[in-house]
Structure 1
């Protein structure tokens, strides 16, 4: 069960990122949160799948037992990039659109949220 905690933290922080974004544009948080979240949530899920595959490919079949979802590298970086790139691509495909400034803001906030908490945990350990 403890292996799922980092995934839950990531999901919660991406929801917070989406809520902050909606609020900063004076949009209803409740009504459109799912519409804003799903592209980034799908990218996040893909990042976790890629991270597990990288661990399994690098360390063998027993990697799932030793996999650390709290690691900055490679897990945090993979999850961050996948959330950002996957989220942006899915936004475009679904007609939600993106702007260059939004990509920069999203990259910064998602790095702070997805990689930042992992770095803080490592420093505190």
Structure 2
């Protein structure tokens, strides 16, 4: 992927990651019968959004935003670890079951969409090569 193509995908990739964290928070709150209004979801999501922002910077994810291993895994691990640290520091729960569920769910979401995106891009590339 050229640097121009990469720069065009950075903003959508950030938005996709934010949506993944918000979706995780909304599903979690809903499954526990908690408030799923934007304010309610934000209460759960904000520590992970902080973790996501720091993980994006630490992983230099803008260099390869669609790469599941290069960007997705560090973003996933950073989001969970830093999100849990922020939750702990602010007195919110970090029960082992929640840590496990958050780790699995955010892994599927943050790494998963990248894997799907890479697969779709590969298929499109093969189709374009066949048409040429």
> Do both share a fold (TM > 0.5)?
yes
Distance between the aligned counterparts of 2:59 and 2:15, measured in 1?
15
Distance between the aligned counterparts of 1:44 and 1:38, measured in 2?
10
Q: Residues 91-102 of structure 1: matches in 2 within 5 Å?
A: 91-102=87-98
Please, which runs of 5 or more residues in structure 1 have no aligned partner?
A: 56-63
Structure 1 length-normalised TM: 0.85
Higher relative contact order (CA 8 A, sep 6+): 1
Q: Residues 1-125 of structure 1: matches in 2 within 5 Å?
A: 1-30=8-37, 31-52=39-60, 67-124=63-120, 125=122
Number of aligned positions between the proteins: 113
Please, which runs of 5 or more residues in structure 2 have no aligned partner?
A: 1-7, 123-132
SS of the aligned residue for 1:29 comes to coil
Deviation at 1:76, TM superposition (A): 0.4
Structure 2 length-normalised TM: 0.81
Deviation at 1:34, TM superposition (A): 1.3
Check whether the contact 2:26–2:41 (CA below 8 A) recurs between aligned residues.
Answer: yes
Distance between the aligned counterparts of 2:56 and 2:10, measured in 1?
12
